[in-house]
A and B are shown apart, each in its own frame.
Chain A
Amino acid sequence: MSNTVLSLIVLLPLAGAALIGLTGFLNERFRHQEKLIGLIATSAVAIPFFIILAAFLQFTSGHGEHHDAIRFSIIPWIETAGIKINFSYHLDQLSLLMGMIVTGIGSLIHIYSIAYMHHDKGFYKFFLYLNLFIFAMLNLILGDNMAVLFLGWEGVGVCSYLLIGFWYEDMEKAKAAQKAFVANRIGDFAMIGAMFMIFGQVHSLNFADINASAGSLGDNAFWITLLLFIAATGKSAQIPLYVWLPDAMAGPTPVSALIHAATMVTSGIYLIARMHPVFNVPAAEPVLIVIAVVAAATAILAALIAIAQNDIKKVLAYSTVSQLGFMFMALGAGAYTTAIFHVMTHAFFKACLFLGSGSVIHAMHHYFDETHEHKDPQDIRFMGGLKKYMPATGMTFWISTLAIAGIPGLSGFFSKDEILANTFFSGFDHGSIYFIVWLVGTITACLTAFYMTRLTYLTFFGEARYKTDKHHPHESSPLMTIPLWILGILAVVGGYLGLPAGVFGHNAHILNHTWFHGLINNRDLEHTMHEHIALEYGLLVLAIAIAVGVVYFAYNFYAKNGLEGDEKVKKVFGSMYKWMENKFYVDEFYEKTILKPFVWAGDNIVVWFDKNIIDGVINGSASATAAVGDVIRRMQTGYVAHYALIISIGVVIIIGYLILG
């Protein structure tokens, strides 16, 4: 394919945003032509999807064993002595896969949003931001150098900011937006540090150059990888920077599905997979352990919080944090392709879950409007039995829940099992701490199955906890349910790209052994697995038992107890439940120990210092200032103006005389 056609992948979403933005800015009537706006915006994402698909077909056909990335470049960016950065992109196995996820799910969510954002007064702005987001995200995942990646990295942050604060009149939402951006910026601090440490040594920001000379980084690889991981904790919501993601649910729900579940939040995982040769340097080994431990801690912390939440989106948000933790566990075990595998399956079922929750919120919102009740349409305590009125939403939500819980045969099962297997087998050769990581991961898997079943049950099954005599909630329009079905189907079949190699043989894992072969080198665990093949079967059985057992138990538990079930859960966890309910007071902790003192010091100490010490000392020493000031003050303003005039003219005359004379 020609460079021009390929360039459209990146340029079309930008053009879409520009077109909608400019026309909307200038023409008031255009802002209400929802269908036209929706069509432009969706095409700007769907066409790139098909181009990437065509590139994918070209890539897979004909080239034989060794695939060369398809490259394209738009314009030079920064060019001067020692620096040469272009707007250039590559489509290799990793970028193709991510590109299809982003534009594919992106297109579906664009379609969904046409219905969801119907009658919103910021309709055109919403699609402008959404297109802009896709543009930034494509720069992030397709850029062939760190500078273009960083352009995308920051760009998605801005779009996320704008979309979280989309309903700008609500100050809480604005605060959430600001929190997200600042937390991400803290990560960017590390990102810039890593980027320039690399540049200082490799003298290039191209991934090909960096990865080729990863070995020469030596001990610096430790610091570089640590910084890259810190950067990833910002964008991909891990401890200690995860706190922005649950708040980010303030944005419209399609945004939560697209940005805060399927795409942007996985960019930290993409970054590490993209630069994995640096992580494979021996000096970086301790960093992998750090990643695994932080990831496990994040996963279980978020899962515990999710159990005690009643806001449907909050549960899904913490679930996302927890699942991102799983992905980082895989990275920490050096299983980079496994992490990407989970990125993909998670994108399917979590996008489906979020869109499903959007459908529910949409319906509950209308229902409460009709019945004139002032209740929170996101609170699952006011729901129940919704599958009767919303069969499509209910069905796809339930499928996705089973997928995330790890029911065998569905996508989540394969990817999660692979993550746990990789952490477990890393324990043999790479430090027994991986066994603990595995254990925590396994417990988290139980918790996941439990809280997701609870969420689905309390929302869709059992008795309705709202009056249904006159009004009842309605299923959403096909524009919303069709994307749900597509994602639901993907959540079922997505896992077959990566069947467990130990059980089905080497080649059954298409992703690892055919697709990523030669591009991404995972840390080699295969012989360890072969040595302990019985254990691998054991882990598989355990995973199946946990998923099936916990889902079965949780379903029946809530079927029997209904909302009262939560009371019993409370008893099981004892005093810890209060902590879970209050998100372990992490926000409050940050607020009290970091934010408040910092802002206070800035507002008081530093400003006071500037005013009284720096300015004061210099002013004080110049008592002459006062004297001169007096003289000037005595001159009346009008005279000063004339004085200025005379001086100016005088100066001009003198200069003129000197030059001409």
Chain B
Amino acid sequence: MGLLSLLIFLPLSGILLLAIIPRQYTYLFKWISLLLSGLQLTVFLAAITPRFIQGVNAGNTGVTNLSGFSLLEQLPWIMMDLGSAGKLKIEYLIGLDGLNFALVLLTLIIMVIATLSAWNTDKNVRAFFMLLLLLNSAMIGCFIALDMFLFYLFYELMLLPMFFLIGVWGGERKEYAAIKFFIYTLVGSVFLLLIMVGLAFSFTVPGNGSVHTFNMVYMMQCGPSGELLNVVKGSLFDTGGILFGMNARLIAFLITFIAFAIKIPVFPLHTWLPDAHVEAPTSISVILAGVLLKIGGYGVLRISYGIFPEGGIYFAWWIGLFGLISMIYGALVAMGQKDLKSMIAYSSISHLGYTLLGMASLQASGFNGALLQLFNHGISSAMLFLIVGVIYDRVHVRQIEKFSGLWGKMPKYAFFVLIAFFASLGLPGFNTFISELMIFMGAFSAIQAQHALPVYYPFIGVITIVLGAVYFLRTYRMMFFGVFNPVGSNNWEEKLTDLQPREYLMFIPLAILLVLFGIFPNLIISTMDKSIAMFMEHILVNGKALLEASKPAL
């Protein structure tokens, strides 16, 4: 078993371990989970990262070149006979390139933090940590799977533990939130499934036209003049394929885009998110915002843009528009929230809208920025949800207006909140600034580029930074300034204690990361920018050729 597989199977082995440990050792469950997450991170940093960096320096960029993936593992898995249509090959295919390296790193960091934040779970502890480990495997698998069937399997596998983690360990309206989450995501994955089946019938392995494949890299590969290399001539997703009387490939781009847009989430498909967050326990919110949403952005990149690059060009204007709406709308709704957690949930919608604007720019800086924004937002939103957890753990209240003067009462907590808020509102010196800067650079450069975005797009986008300052600082003022006033009950005086060691253990690393990647963004950018450059060429050159070839467009 390769190193990458180890990342997937470490937590799975933990599930078995948890299943056999007798009930009286309940306290071990969290330790085992923590140990395994820590072990995963260690393996990743100590063994996988050096190999990956070596590969990048040697010019291995992955994306459309299968041999350019680092730590590639390719095992035959299922070979299905399709009768007259030939055979269908499903592979266990995983690998790292610039598009997923940072997101895997993010997942591993967040899982350690989330496990720590779940330390005081007291209900069904065994099941909780088993589901957490299952979720861990599924998310990692999702990011590194290069076979679409495998990807889909992990994608679905994520759904179940998340559903139960919200539905069982959640707050008052947990069933409602869990069902809503489930249905939204399920709708998305049904869409995805349809396209996936179509793709499998349209693509074959190189050199053997009768073996159909789910290999996403093969689906992307194009020849020198931009023609699809491994497509079955005249099939559904060949150029010129027709679906419902329209260009099948553009439709497919749109459908996969919508499927992932639900996960990002993008306006108007976002309403499941605030509900899910508000009801989810802190640790699950951390994972939801920190990692799960990123699979939406990643899916748009790897699958929508990767497999149907012409759609990215064709729909740039619309993608940019929905990015902008999410940015502004998310911020406006965040401003009006009374619950701290739902304010932060809406701020996520606003921040993830940036990624769409960056992609719509079709500029390398925009794409780098978009991917970096996924990474950065993962860290800052994890910290923001932990911040909610701190007060919720103590007094079980999250209403912003109920708190005042916390600066005097919990100065250390106030300090970390200040850092998280300023990082989130895009202050230079913190990580989010870098990605937002790169996205705006892309968007402004796109005005003059070939595939132009309207000049007012980036300007409208920049309004978000003003709104961000308003809702974050207004919240901070209401909660932290003024005189401490225990509105809830007299016990607040005792209950609202400053941070404990376990909380420092979560906050300090995250705060350091916020600054570290704000001052040394190249640590992350250098893992992705070569792949992004290749990816851009794929989109612009091949995408353009495919768009030309498939006229009329819609």
Residues in chain A within 8 A of chain B (CB atoms): 25, 75-83, 147, 150-151, 154-155, 158, 161, 165, 168-171, 173-175, 177-178, 181-182, 185-186, 188-189, 192-193, 196-197, 199-201, 599, 602-604, 606-607, 610, 614-615, 618-619, 622, 624-625, 628-629, 632-633, 637, 640-645, 647-649, 651-652, 655-656, 658-659
Residue of A nearest to B364 (CB): A81
Cβ-based interface call for B196 (8 A) = no
Known A-B contacts A178-B474, A189-B466; the reply to A632 vs B179 at CB < 8 A is: yes
Q: Other than the known A174-B482, A656-B12, what 15 A-B pairs have Cβ atoms closer than 8 Å?
A: A75-B519, A77-B522, A83-B438, A165-B481, A171-B481, A181-B469, A182-B470, A192-B440, A199-B441, A615-B271, A628-B179, A629-B176, A644-B127, A645-B127, A649-B15
**Within 8 Å CB of A628, what residues of B?**
179, 183
Cα distance A637–B427 when bound, in Å? Answer: 44
Cα distance A168–B532 when bound, in Å? Answer: 46
Q: Are B161 and A606 in contact (CB under 8 A)?
A: no
Residues in chain B within 8 A of chain A (CB atoms): 12, 15-16, 19, 75, 77-78, 92, 124, 126-127, 130-131, 134, 153, 157, 160-161, 164, 167-168, 175-176, 178-180, 183, 267-271, 329, 332-333, 335-337, 364-365, 368, 405, 407-408, 412, 415, 422, 427-429, 434, 437-438, 440-441, 443-445, 447-448, 458-459, 462-463, 465-466, 469-470, 473-474, 477, 480-483, 519-522, 525-526, 529, 532-533
Known A-B contacts A171-B481, A632-B179, A652-B12; the reply to A644 vs B434 at CB < 8 A is: no
Q: Are A602 and B134 in contact (CB under 8 A)?
A: no
Known A-B contacts A169-B408, A640-B168; the reply to A651 vs B160 at CB < 8 A is: yes
Residue of B nearest to A85 (CB): B437
**Within 8 Å CB of A196, what residues of B?**
440-441, 443-445, 458
Residue of A nearest to B536 (CB): A81
Cα distance A200–B365 when bound, in Å? Answer: 12
Q: Are A606 and B444 in contact (CB under 8 A)?
A: no
Cα distance A186–B469 when bound, in Å? Answer: 10
Could you jot down 25 A-B contacts, CB within 8 Å?
A75-B519, A77-B521, A78-B521, A78-B525, A80-B364, A81-B368, A158-B422, A168-B405, A182-B473, A189-B462, A189-B466, A196-B441, A197-B444, A199-B444, A199-B445, A603-B336, A607-B336, A607-B337, A614-B267, A629-B179, A643-B164, A644-B160, A644-B168, A649-B19, A655-B153
**Within 8 Å CB of A178, what residues of B?**
473-474, 477
Known A-B contacts A181-B473, A629-B179, A659-B77; the reply to A189 vs B529 at CB < 8 A is: no
Distance from B535 Cβ to chain A, minimum over Cβ atoms (Å): 12
Distance from B93 Cβ to chain A, minimum over Cβ atoms (Å): 12
Known A-B contacts A165-B481, A602-B332, A648-B131; the reply to A189 vs B465 at CB < 8 A is: yes
Distance from A603 Cβ to chain B, minimum over Cβ atoms (Å): 4
Q: Are B365 and A81 in contact (CB under 8 A)?
A: yes
**Within 8 Å CB of A80, what residues of B?**
364-365, 368, 438, 522, 525-526, 529
Cα distance A173–B47 when bound, in Å? Answer: 52
Known A-B contacts A603-B335, A607-B336; the reply to A189 vs B168 at CB < 8 A is: no
Q: Are A658 and B519 in contact (CB under 8 A)?
A: no
Cα distance A189–B533 when bound, in Å? Answer: 29
Q: Give the 10 A-B residue pairs with the shortest CB-CB distance, closest first.
A: A174-B481, A196-B444, A644-B164, A607-B336, A151-B428, A615-B271, A603-B336, A185-B469, A80-B529, A602-B335
Cα distance A78–B364 when bound, in Å? Answer: 14
Distance from A205 Cβ to chain B, minimum over Cβ atoms (Å): 9
Q: Are A648 and B271 in contact (CB under 8 A)?
A: no
Q: Are A641 and B164 in contact (CB under 8 A)?
A: yes
Residue of A nearest to B90 (CB): A658
**Within 8 Å CB of B525, what residues of A?**
78-80
Residue of A nearest to B533 (CB): A81
Distance from B529 Cβ to chain A, minimum over Cβ atoms (Å): 4
Cα distance A628–B438 when bound, in Å? Answer: 44
Q: Are A82 and B444 in contact (CB under 8 A)?
A: no
Q: Are B268 and A658 in contact (CB under 8 A)?
A: no
Q: Are B422 and A168 in contact (CB under 8 A)?
A: no
**Within 8 Å CB of B440, what residues of A?**
192, 196
Q: Are A185 and B164 in contact (CB under 8 A)?
A: no
Distance from A15 Cβ to chain B, minimum over Cβ atoms (Å): 14
**Within 8 Å CB of A75, what residues of B?**
519-520
Residue of A nearest to B16 (CB): A652
A200, A604, A649, A656: the one within 8 Å of B445 (CB): A200
Q: Are A78 and B434 in contact (CB under 8 A)?
A: yes
A158, A169, A641: the one within 8 Å of B127 (CB): A641
Q: Are A185 and B465 in contact (CB under 8 A)?
A: yes
Residue of A nearest to B471 (CB): A602
Cα distance A625–B124 when bound, in Å? Answer: 27
**Within 8 Å CB of A614, what residues of B?**
267-268, 270-271
**Within 8 Å CB of B526, what residues of A?**
79-80
Cα distance A644–B401 when bound, in Å? Answer: 37
Q: Are A648 and B335 in contact (CB under 8 A)?
A: no
Residue of B nearest to A616 (CB): B271
**Within 8 Å CB of B465, what residues of A?**
185, 188-189, 192
**Within 8 Å CB of A655, what residues of B?**
12, 153
Distance from B289 Cβ to chain A, minimum over Cβ atoms (Å): 18
A79, A192, A599: the one within 8 Å of B522 (CB): A79
Cα distance A393–B459 when bound, in Å? Answer: 49
Q: Are B427 and A659 in contact (CB under 8 A)?
A: no
Distance from A273 Cβ to chain B, minimum over Cβ atoms (Å): 22
**Within 8 Å CB of A658, what residues of B?**
77-78
Cα distance A171–B404 when bound, in Å? Answer: 10
Q: Are A625 and B474 in contact (CB under 8 A)?
A: no
Residue of B nearest to A611 (CB): B271
Known A-B contacts A192-B465, A637-B168; the reply to A78 vs B437 at CB < 8 A is: yes
Q: Are A182 and B469 in contact (CB under 8 A)?
A: yes
B332, B444, B519, B532: the one within 8 Å of A200 (CB): B444
Residue of B nearest to A615 (CB): B271
Cα distance A429–B367 when bound, in Å? Answer: 49
Cα distance A619–B269 when bound, in Å? Answer: 11
Known A-B contacts A171-B482, A628-B183, A644-B161; the reply to A82 vs B365 at CB < 8 A is: yes
Q: Are A81 and B529 in contact (CB under 8 A)?
A: yes
Distance from B431 Cβ to chain A, minimum over Cβ atoms (Å): 11
Distance from A121 Cβ to chain B, minimum over Cβ atoms (Å): 10
Q: Are A606 and B438 in contact (CB under 8 A)?
A: no
Q: Are B466 and A193 in contact (CB under 8 A)?
A: no
Q: Are A76 and B183 in contact (CB under 8 A)?
A: no
Known A-B contacts A649-B15, A659-B77; the reply to A640 vs B427 at CB < 8 A is: no
Known A-B contacts A648-B131, A648-B134; the reply to A641 vs B335 at CB < 8 A is: no
**Within 8 Å CB of B337, what residues of A?**
607
Distance from B210 Cβ to chain A, minimum over Cβ atoms (Å): 23
Distance from B536 Cβ to chain A, minimum over Cβ atoms (Å): 9
**Within 8 Å CB of A624, what residues of B?**
183
Q: Are B448 and A200 in contact (CB under 8 A)?
A: yes
**Within 8 Å CB of A633, what residues of B?**
175
